[in-house]
Amino acid sequence: MKKERKLKDLNEFQSWAKESAFVYPSSEIYGGFAAVYDYGPYGSILLKNIRDAWWKSMVQERDDVVGLDSGIFMHPTTWLASGHVGGFADVLVEDKKTNIRYRADHLIEKFFAEKGETVDMDKKTPEELQQIIEENDIKSPDGNELAAPRSFNLLVKSNLGSTDASFDEKNVTYLRGETCQGIYLNFKNIISTTRKKLPMGIAQIGKAFRNEIVARQFIFRTREFEQMEMQYFHHPDDTEKKYEEWKKDRMKWHTDVLGIPEDSLRFKEHAKLIFYATAAFDIQYKFNSMGDAFDELEGIHARSNYDLTQHAKHSGEKMEYFDQSRNEKYIPHIMETSVGLNRIFMMLLDDAWTEEQIENAKGETDTRIVLKIKKSLAPIKAAILPLMRKPDFQSKALDLKKSLQSEFMVEYDETASIGKRYRRQDEIGTPYCITVDHQTLEDNSVTVRDRDSMKQIRINSDEVMDYIKENL
């Protein structure tokens, strides 16, 4: 049995992600910018692979879901109608001495967790949270008194399109706090310009922005992030059935398409609901890097006809749908699946990152970091490595690289020893390393090394493309 270790905490995660070109802190040359991250050469490919996998399952392979790409900015009334201006808030508490701000619910949860107790802090009001803080004499992490909790709206304001003189609270434009509002605003357009009938879904991937009070968990909670959301429009009688179908479907996506082990995932029902939901489940993942704690990955929400009704009221447009099959007119109800792209990214790396003790070529014990990510999601699919930096080896290797490049992301590497080059590729999750050696010059065969087993096979270089395609 190989000895293995997983990520021990977020510090190790963050420094590894930076060193291996996945995630960089934002604006480092200016001293950093809190709760925003940039995705490096391998990180940006992994994000794209996740987006593509979601889109394929959600839109391409389904007949009842279409795609959309709506603007980040929307008419200011959107956010009044949706209820976000009034109700999209977290409760903040401030350390009276250091002025550091905390989310009140998180502080209370931590207080009880340290005593081995779990409490449900879902959607508590500032007054309820204050009472808990007082009754239990909860202090800040620095041991200081806390100021009274207060609501803090999460929408990010902009001054788009306004001159300074005309800029007032009424015409504030917001950066979208969730992507799905763009879907609701386009529901009528999509129904009238496509031949889609209900039940049907609209899917969208895009950036969302929230003024998170605290964002200290690497890329888990950031102020700029990306959502992959699908809104399923249906008759109210179908809600229960659709809810169960989507719950099953989404869990299966995490296990089958992303390759996450079943026992690292679970459903958690919300005890108290956010203002728009009538039922809500989260899919949670057990993060190695966050002390083996389960935390939210994806939300599955029954939103009733709340959003369309609100937009109808504020815009004066009718949002009713005439259902020919039922001979009935109604405002459709919505089932939502909403997942953060960056959280999926974090889960995939958290699950895949493995430090292994192995035996090297000399029979000595060695360690390697290997990213055991599902091969089809790996940023680089193959690395082409000439054994020696000599023209014969190099030109063969470069020819092979060129032939594979039209199909896959591949890398060519001729620096350092072959062992070091294998390690580099293991660490970024490259499934196959293809080495051009002396024998290649004689019979055109190459070695193909598998990332996980580290076993090598020898095949003709003309067969490499098909071999990789069949084994991804």
Output 298 or 413, the one with its CB closest to ligand GAP: 298
**In the complex, which residues of this chain contact ligand GAP (CB under 6 A)?**
178, 180, 210, 212, 221-222, 225, 227, 229, 296-299, 336, 338-340, 342-343
Query: Phi and psi at residue 64, in whole multiples of 5°?
Result: -110, 15
Count of CB atoms situated within 10 Å of the CB of 76: 18
C-alpha distances out from residue 89 to 63, 124, 151, 280, Å: 37, 11, 6, 18
Output 280 or 434, the one with its CB closest to ligand GAP: 280
Cβ pair 126, 107 in contact under 8 A: no
What's the closest the beta carbon of residue 88 comes to ligand GAP, in angstroms? 9
Output 214 or 454, the one with its CB closest to ligand GAP: 214
Q: What is the largest CA-CA distance in the chain?
A: 80
Output 342 or 440, the one with its CB closest to ligand GAP: 342
What's the closest the beta carbon of residue 183 comes to ligand GAP, in angstroms? 9
Beta pairing partners, 206: 227
Output 68 or 380, the one with its CB closest to ligand GAP: 68
What's the closest the beta carbon of residue 198 comes to ligand GAP, in angstroms? 20
Runs of H (alpha helix) within 176-238: 180-193
Tokens of residue 136, six digits = 């239990």
Q: Using omega within 30 degrees of 0 as the cis cutoff, is the peptide bond preceding 76 cis?
A: no
What's the closest the beta carbon of residue 49 comes to ligand GAP, in angstroms? 17
What's the closest the beta carbon of residue 124 comes to ligand GAP, in angstroms? 17
Output 206 or 386, the one with its CB closest to ligand GAP: 206
- What's at 438, amino acid-wise? H
3-state helix, strand, coil in the chain (%, to 5): 35, 30, 35
What's the closest the beta carbon of residue 171 comes to ligand GAP, in angstroms? 24
User: In Å, how far from its chain's centre is CA 421?
Assistant: 29
Residue number of the CB closest to ligand GAP reads 340
